[in-house]
Chain A
């Protein structure tokens, strides 16, 4: 199962609403997770089960979707949110190629 992410990168301003899309090559129900990674750091789990927020993750992050199409939304971008975001499908565990969010 292959994952694609769009866009591959985006530029946004603090306070903006940001949406990242992840598409699976075949249906995966809600077996999808989202991670955030900052340069030089390990990834951080944001969302699993397509829409369940990991403990401690700010509520401005949300996930939705099922089947083949998923989205990660940041409702109001904060300075600490500039990072690369990856989706991961939980059937064969592969990651998407990532979306870099910068200023």
Chain B
């Protein structure tokens, strides 16, 4: 069955960088687009980024452009999200999710359980 396991979260100081990982299994990772979505404590869902099956197309929420980078390693079935210049407002649970298509359909049919990032000094 499809499994998505996020890792890399934790407590990080403001201004620092962080990389989240999402290990995929149970499907052919290299043929599907993937997403990152976050949820601040007590708040709603916020779509962050998507990447096509081969990494050639990347999409970002306007508020994230320039600070976040999405990429993938299809040889290791892993999705990544690199953050720079973290702020307190980036404190959230970060989810990776699987798109039903290789190009980006836009919706997420499977989700990981999320990893918590806390930005605090």
- Kindly identify which residue among B45, B100, B105 contacts A98, using a CB–CB cutoff of 8 Å: B45
Q: Write the B38-66 contact mask toward A (1 if CB under 8 angstroms, else 0).
A: 00000011110010000000010100000
Q: Is the CB of B61 within 8 A of A98?
A: no
A-binding residues in B (CB < 8 A): 35, 37, 44-47, 50, 59, 61, 95, 100, 105-109, 111-114
Instruction: Contact check, A37 vs B112: say whether CB atoms are below 8 A apart.
Output: no
- Whether A42 and B105, one on each chain, are in contact in the complex, defined by CB atoms closer than 8 angstroms, is no
Q: How many Å lie between the Cα of A96 and that of B44 in the bound state?
A: 8
Per the bound structure, the CA–CA distance linking A31 and B105 in Å amounts to 9
In the assembly, what is the distance between CA of A9 and CA of B93, in Å?
22
- Contact between A42 and B109, CB atoms less than 8 A apart: no
Q: Which of A19-27, A58-66, A69-77, A87-95 contacts B (4 or more CB under 8 A)?
A: A87-95
Query: B107 touching A48 by the CB < 8 A rule?
Result: yes
Given A93-B59, A94-B61, the answer on whether A45 and B46 have CB atoms closer than 8 Å is: no
A: contact size bracket = 20 to 34
- Interface contact A95-B44, CB-CB below 8 Å: yes
Contact between chains at A97 and B44 (CB < 8 Å): yes
Known: A33-B106, A42-B113. A93 touches B47 (CB 8 A): yes
- Tally of contacts, chain A with chain B, CB under 8 A: 54
A47 to chain B, nearest CB (A): 9
* Complex CA–CA separation, A48 to B108 (angstroms): 9
Q: What's the nearest-Cβ distance from chain A to residue B30, in Å?
A: 22
**How far apart are the CA atoms of A84 and B42 in the complex, in Å?**
11
A61 to nearest B CB, angstroms?
A: 15
Instruction: Using A42-B112, A86-B45, A98-B44 as known contacts, list a sample of 19 further A-B pairs with CB atoms less than 8 Å apart, ordered by residue number in A.
Output: A35-B108, A42-B95, A42-B114, A43-B37, A45-B108, A48-B105, A48-B109, A84-B44, A88-B107, A90-B105, A93-B47, A93-B61, A94-B47, A95-B44, A95-B46, A95-B47, A96-B44, A97-B44, A98-B45
